[in-house]
Amino acid sequence: MYTDAVSDPVDDLYQAVHYGSAYAMSDYETKSQNLYLTTSYIYSPKLKFHGTVGYNKSTAEMDQVIFPDITDRLYDEINDITDLGHQDFTFLHMHDYSNLDYQLMNFSLGLEYMLSKDVVWTADGEYAELKDNEGYVYGIESGSMFMIRSGIRFVF
Protein backbone atom coordinates (compact mmCIF):
# COMPACT_ATOMS: atom_id res chain seq x y z
CA MET A 1 0.00 0.00 0.00
CA TYR A 2 1.44 3.39 -1.09
CA THR A 3 -0.85 5.92 0.58
CA ASP A 4 1.90 8.46 1.25
CA ALA A 5 4.01 7.90 -1.86
CA VAL A 6 3.94 10.05 -4.93
CA SER A 7 3.24 7.12 -7.19
CA ASP A 8 2.05 3.55 -6.93
CA PRO A 9 3.57 0.84 -9.16
CA VAL A 10 0.67 -0.80 -10.97
CA ASP A 11 1.45 -3.09 -13.90
CA ASP A 12 4.85 -1.41 -14.29
CA LEU A 13 3.13 1.97 -14.76
CA TYR A 14 3.09 4.73 -12.17
CA GLN A 15 -0.24 6.28 -11.25
CA ALA A 16 -1.01 9.17 -8.91
CA VAL A 17 -1.99 8.20 -5.39
CA HIS A 18 -2.50 11.68 -3.97
CA TYR A 19 -4.09 14.96 -4.86
CA GLY A 20 -1.72 17.46 -6.36
CA SER A 21 -1.45 19.99 -9.16
CA ALA A 22 1.07 17.79 -11.00
CA TYR A 23 -1.77 15.33 -11.57
CA ALA A 24 -4.56 17.79 -12.30
CA MET A 25 -3.55 20.24 -15.00
CA SER A 26 -5.31 23.61 -15.10
CA ASP A 27 -4.93 26.43 -17.61
CA TYR A 28 -3.66 29.81 -16.39
CA GLU A 29 -4.19 32.73 -18.74
CA THR A 30 -2.56 36.14 -18.43
CA LYS A 31 -3.16 39.28 -20.45
CA SER A 32 -1.04 42.40 -20.13
CA GLN A 33 -1.10 45.65 -22.05
CA ASN A 34 1.68 48.23 -21.58
CA LEU A 35 2.05 51.73 -22.93
CA TYR A 36 5.12 53.88 -22.28
CA LEU A 37 5.89 57.37 -23.51
CA THR A 38 9.27 58.86 -22.69
CA THR A 39 10.72 62.17 -23.72
CA SER A 40 13.87 64.15 -23.11
CA TYR A 41 14.83 67.72 -23.86
CA ILE A 42 18.30 69.29 -23.81
CA TYR A 43 17.69 72.87 -22.73
CA SER A 44 21.38 73.81 -22.68
CA PRO A 45 24.70 71.96 -22.64
CA LYS A 46 24.45 71.92 -18.82
CA LEU A 47 20.71 71.26 -18.31
CA LYS A 48 18.60 68.31 -19.48
CA PHE A 49 14.97 67.40 -18.74
CA HIS A 50 13.22 64.04 -19.06
CA GLY A 51 9.78 62.61 -18.42
CA THR A 52 7.88 59.34 -18.59
CA VAL A 53 4.24 58.31 -18.65
CA GLY A 54 3.47 54.61 -18.23
CA TYR A 55 0.29 52.56 -18.19
CA ASN A 56 -0.12 48.85 -17.46
CA LYS A 57 -3.35 46.84 -17.42
CA SER A 58 -3.02 43.19 -16.46
CA THR A 59 -5.45 40.36 -15.86
CA ALA A 60 -4.91 36.72 -15.06
CA GLU A 61 -7.08 33.78 -14.09
CA MET A 62 -6.83 30.06 -13.63
CA ASP A 63 -9.44 27.47 -14.54
CA GLN A 64 -10.96 25.52 -11.69
CA VAL A 65 -8.73 22.66 -10.57
CA ILE A 66 -10.43 19.27 -10.67
CA PHE A 67 -8.41 16.52 -9.09
CA PRO A 68 -8.69 12.89 -10.16
CA ASP A 69 -10.67 10.41 -8.08
CA ILE A 70 -8.08 8.16 -6.45
CA THR A 71 -10.22 6.40 -3.87
CA ASP A 72 -9.81 3.07 -5.66
CA ARG A 73 -6.02 3.35 -5.26
CA LEU A 74 -6.04 4.01 -1.52
CA TYR A 75 -7.68 0.83 -0.31
CA ASP A 76 -6.05 -0.56 2.84
CA GLU A 77 -6.36 -4.33 2.50
CA ILE A 78 -5.22 -5.06 6.06
CA ASN A 79 -7.90 -2.92 7.73
CA ASP A 80 -10.47 -3.25 4.93
CA ILE A 81 -10.96 0.54 4.59
CA THR A 82 -10.28 3.30 2.12
CA ASP A 83 -8.17 5.88 3.98
CA LEU A 84 -8.60 9.44 2.76
CA GLY A 85 -8.13 11.05 6.18
CA HIS A 86 -4.97 12.89 5.26
CA GLN A 87 -6.50 14.08 1.96
CA ASP A 88 -9.68 15.72 3.13
CA PHE A 89 -9.33 18.99 1.18
CA THR A 90 -11.77 21.21 -0.62
CA PHE A 91 -10.55 23.03 -3.73
CA LEU A 92 -13.78 24.70 -4.83
CA HIS A 93 -12.41 28.26 -4.70
CA MET A 94 -8.66 27.64 -4.94
CA HIS A 95 -8.54 28.91 -8.54
CA ASP A 96 -9.92 32.29 -7.43
CA TYR A 97 -6.75 32.98 -5.42
CA SER A 98 -4.81 33.36 -8.67
CA ASN A 99 -7.15 35.88 -10.27
CA LEU A 100 -5.49 39.24 -10.93
CA ASP A 101 -6.98 42.42 -12.39
CA TYR A 102 -5.14 45.70 -11.93
CA GLN A 103 -4.12 48.94 -13.60
CA LEU A 104 -0.94 50.90 -12.89
CA MET A 105 -0.24 54.49 -13.99
CA ASN A 106 3.18 56.17 -13.53
CA PHE A 107 4.27 59.72 -14.20
CA SER A 108 7.81 60.99 -13.74
CA LEU A 109 9.72 64.19 -14.43
CA GLY A 110 13.37 64.85 -13.85
CA LEU A 111 16.34 67.00 -14.60
CA GLU A 112 20.11 66.75 -14.79
CA TYR A 113 22.34 69.75 -14.22
CA MET A 114 26.04 69.52 -15.01
CA LEU A 115 27.95 71.15 -12.15
CA SER A 116 31.31 70.38 -13.76
CA LYS A 117 32.71 68.12 -16.45
CA ASP A 118 32.64 65.13 -14.04
CA VAL A 119 29.80 65.98 -11.59
CA VAL A 120 26.06 66.01 -12.36
CA TRP A 121 23.23 66.92 -9.99
CA THR A 122 19.99 64.98 -10.58
CA ALA A 123 16.45 65.57 -9.32
CA ASP A 124 13.40 63.41 -10.09
CA GLY A 125 9.77 63.24 -9.06
CA GLU A 126 7.53 60.22 -9.63
CA TYR A 127 3.86 59.51 -9.01
CA ALA A 128 2.30 56.06 -9.36
CA GLU A 129 -1.27 54.90 -8.82
CA LEU A 130 -2.33 51.27 -8.59
CA LYS A 131 -5.98 50.25 -8.92
CA ASP A 132 -6.58 46.65 -7.87
CA ASN A 133 -9.94 45.34 -9.10
CA GLU A 134 -9.57 41.77 -7.84
CA GLY A 135 -8.47 41.17 -4.27
CA TYR A 136 -5.71 38.60 -4.06
CA VAL A 137 -4.91 36.64 -0.91
CA TYR A 138 -4.35 39.86 1.06
CA GLY A 139 -7.40 41.71 -0.28
CA ILE A 140 -7.63 44.83 -2.43
CA GLU A 141 -4.24 46.53 -2.57
CA SER A 142 -5.02 49.78 -4.39
CA GLY A 143 -2.97 52.83 -3.55
CA SER A 144 -0.70 55.59 -4.73
CA MET A 145 2.88 56.72 -4.20
CA PHE A 146 4.70 60.01 -4.64
CA MET A 147 8.50 60.05 -4.51
CA ILE A 148 11.11 62.77 -4.84
CA ARG A 149 14.76 61.86 -5.15
CA SER A 150 17.93 63.76 -5.78
CA GLY A 151 21.56 62.87 -6.06
CA ILE A 152 25.02 63.61 -7.30
CA ARG A 153 26.49 61.55 -10.13
CA PHE A 154 30.21 61.33 -10.67
CA VAL A 155 31.36 60.63 -14.20
CA PHE A 156 34.64 58.71 -14.43
pLDDT digits (tens, 9 = 90+) for 36-50: 999 999 999 999 999
Share of the chain above pLDDT 90, in %: 47
Q: Which pLDDT belongs to residue 33?
A: 96
Question: Does residue 20 belong to any structural domain of this protein?
Answer: no
Question: Does residue 134 belong to any structural domain of this protein?
Answer: yes
Q: Which pLDDT belongs to residue 63?
A: 81
Q: Which of 9-13, 31-35, 59-63, 135-139 has the lowest mean pLDDT?
A: 9-13
Domain containing residue 55 = 27-68+90-154
Phi, psi (5° rounding) for residue 97?
Answer: -65, -20
d(CA 40, CA 114): 16
> What's the structural domain count of the chain?
1
Question: Does residue 60 belong to any structural domain of this protein?
Answer: yes
Question: Does residue 124 belong to any structural domain of this protein?
Answer: yes
Does pTM top 0.75 for this prediction?
no
Confidence at 5, pLDDT banded by 50, 70, 90 = very low
Average pLDDT, the chain: 79
Q: Which of 44-48, 67-71, 85-89, 115-119 has the lowest mean pLDDT?
A: 85-89
12, 22, 70, 78, 106 from 3: Cα distances, Å: 18, 17, 10, 13, 52
Phi, psi (5° rounding) for residue 98?
Answer: -100, 5
Average pLDDT over residues 42-69: 89
Average pLDDT over residues 23-37: 84
Question: Does residue 139 belong to any structural domain of this protein?
Answer: yes
Question: Does residue 82 belong to any structural domain of this protein?
Answer: no
Question: Does residue 61 belong to any structural domain of this protein?
Answer: yes
